[in-house]
Amino acid sequence: MSRTSPLHDRHVDAGARIVPFGGWDMPLEYAGTLEEHRACRTAAAVFDVSHLGTVRLTGAAAHDVLQTTLTNDLDKITAGRAQYTHLLDDDGSVLDDIIVWWYRRDGVDVFDVMPNASNTSRVIEAIGGTDVTAERAVLAVQGPTAREVVARLSSEAAAVRRFHVVEVDVAGVPVVVAGTGYTGEDGVELAVPSAAAGPIWDQLLTAGAVPAGLGARDTLRLEAGLPLHGHELGPGITPLQAGLGWVVAFGKPSFRGREALVAERERGVARLLRGIATEGRRPPRAECTVTDASGAAIGVTTSGNFSPVLGHGIALALLPPEVAEGAAVAVDVRGTALPGTVVPTPFVRSR
């Protein structure tokens, strides 16, 4: 049986199209994905991302568990900061990509480890901790005016800087606020106690945020060149292949998958995640064959869609590392070869 967000009834009442995602029933769109996408790029949108897990570890020992299991170096940050990191399999492939929120509550270090929707149990097996997903909703307010919207509820929440984490009062409720997001735009994410999620959602809409679903979240993250687990990350795909070597602290003596990554780094990666811009409005999709100018297959797309901002198709693909930016390629979409060019990412940069 699928799980639902504390805001599920509000989504239904608003006419959202509800779809299954990672074991949850979540809103795909309200007024339409293109409209919601543009609202986030030009003003402010609010996304219910409560399907993301929250695994909580507390106390001094929690730091050591995370430091010896996950790839990034927690010693690069302190309490009051967030960090992007990976949980690897023994072969170096990415079991999950994770955000860690580290803050202090009543003098105790709290680490809220946030896995992808379907990976919470896998992460708990690796690091322990308590699953507190059901205790909160997570609202992502994103876009050029996102902070102005949040400031109408709490100036302290609106002032939380990028990749910082603070527990503040929002509309009379203690809320953990992080300067994180998944759209390529500025904004904050608010972990709100479940019972207060509805009223705070309502106030964000009244303050000017446009409700947006998972459809717009996906097209936004693709324009921003951000990886999605199960597409750009997953079995057989390592951080080095995904161009995310900066997430791996090779200076640490141990973490799961380290030996495999060291060996891959020494021999060189066989493929790299690259951006492709295709001609025309027909979108490329995931798992399409990519061919070079001679028609030879050279790789496969991991994600693809129409870019609302650029007005043409875009894709991420795993290609040989020697394929240069500017190279002419084609993406085979159900027998139709879409002409394209290898381009740098992000496809769209935040203003």
Query: How far, in Å, are 228, 260, 348 from residue 47 at the CA level?
Result: 17, 37, 20
When pLDDT is cut at 50, 70 and 90, the band that residue 293 belongs to is very high
Q: What is the model's pLDDT at position 246?
A: 98
Residues of CATH 3.30.1360.120 domain(s) within the chain?
3-53+133-223
Classify domain 270-343 by CATH architecture. Beta Barrel (2.40)
Classify domain 3-53+133-223 by CATH architecture. 2-Layer Sandwich (3.30)
Residues of CATH 2.40.30.110 domain(s) within the chain?
270-343
Q: What is the model's pLDDT at position 185?
A: 98
Summary mean pLDDT of the chain: 97
Residue pLDDT, tens place only, 257-268: 999 999 999 999
DSSP of 105-122, one letter per residue?
Answer: ETTEEEEEEE--GGGHHH
Q: What is the model's pLDDT at position 118?
A: 87
When pLDDT is cut at 50, 70 and 90, the band that residue 41 belongs to is very high
Mean pLDDT, residues 242-247: 98
Pairwise CA distance, residues 157 & 347, whole Å: 29
The CATH code of the domain at 55-131 is: 3.30.70.1400
- Residue indicated by tokens 């799980």: 3
Q: What is the model's pLDDT at position 258?
A: 98
Mean pLDDT, residues 95-123: 96
As given in the structure block, the two tokens for residue 339 are 């002409």
Mean pLDDT, residues 86-111: 98
How many C-beta atoms surround the C-beta of residue 129 within 10 A? 19
Mean pLDDT, residues 215-243: 98
Give every CB contact of residue 209 below 8 A, 6+ residues apart in sequence. Answer: 44, 45, 46, 141, 146, 149
As given in the structure block, the two tokens for residue 64 are 């050591």
DSSP of 214-283, one letter per residue?
Answer: HHHHHHHHHHTT---BTTTBBTTB-TTTTT-GGG--TTSS--TTHHHHHHHHHH--S-EEEEEEESSSSP
Residue pLDDT, tens place only, 168-219: 999 999 999 999 999 999 999 999 999 999 999 999 999 999 999 999 999 9
Residue 74, pLDDT > 80, answer yes
Residues of CATH 3.30.70.1400 domain(s) within the chain?
55-131
Residue 32, pLDDT > 80, answer yes
3-state SS, residue 293 = coil
Pairwise CA distance, residues 127 & 207, whole Å: 39
Pairwise CA distance, residues 48 & 35, whole Å: 17
Q: What is the model's pLDDT at position 117?
A: 84
Percent of the chain with pLDDT over 70: 100
Angle at 273 between CA 143 and CA 328, to 5 degrees: 100
Pairwise CA distance, residues 49 & 45, whole Å: 12
